[in-house]
Amino acid sequence: MAAPSLVFWDWNGTLMDDAAYSCGCLNGLLDEYGYPQRYDLDAYRSVFGFPIEDYYRRVGFDFGRDPFPLLAESYMQRYNAGVDACPLTEGAAGVIRALAGRGIGQALLSVSRRDYLAQQAARRGLGDAFQAMLGLSDIYGAGKVQLGRDYIAASGADPARCLMVGDTDHDAETARAMGVRCILYAGGHQTRPRLEATGCTVIDRLADLPGLL
């Protein structure tokens, strides 16, 4: 199989190691709004997913009592207060350099709000590493399928020469909608069995990626 000419990277949980931090933010939000349940990291990774609104239902929020937009805003305030402490995933910077050295283009494709995405990448020394930073215009995390499809159409990129790398089943869904290959990283926001259920190749270390291309 030919090496890709363009890699679409997910950000949260893939290049930025924020799964444990996000789990803590979830528990803080549950506490803030008076819900008794708490999630350890394994339980969190078993329920997390997109759209975020559906994930909030799964963890037990009652939208009749606490509307989703209010919860989403409260979560983002909590998350943004400490996200600068989240490091890059082990091996991420080296893999990005390795792909660039092979002439492979790279773009971010995320459900994060685009301005947050750009700030977080820049603060980790990756502000100039990507030919595009594709994010949403809001904080509600509905999904990124349309973002990816629109970029493929507008850029003229050949889907057969593109690859999506992410850490959730939504990345697999997005890749299918874009008509591109997908490799999933098992150290992020979802458990390995959930990723394997997509049928995509699953890796345990980002450093393993270049050897598969």
> pLDDT tens digits for 1-53?
578 999 999 999 999 999 999 999 999 999 999 999 999 999 999 999 999 99
- Measured distance CA(186)–CA(110) in Å, rounded: 17
Q: Bridge-partner residues for 203, per DSSP?
A: 185
Per DSSP, the three-state class of 207 is helix
Fold of 6-17+88-212: Rossmann fold (3.40.50)
The domain segmentation of the chain, as residue ranges, is: 6-17+88-212, 19-85
Distances (CA, A) of 49 to 16, 59, 110, 125: 17, 11, 13, 28
Q: Bridge-partner residues for 106, per DSSP?
A: 7
- Say if CB 14 and CB 8 are below 8 A apart: no
Mean pLDDT by 10 residues, the chain (213 residues): 88 98 99 98 98 96 98 97 97 96 96 93 94 86 85 92 97 95 98 98 97 91
- Say if CB 14 and CB 188 are below 8 A apart: yes
pLDDT at residue 102 in the model: 95
pLDDT at residue 141 in the model: 62
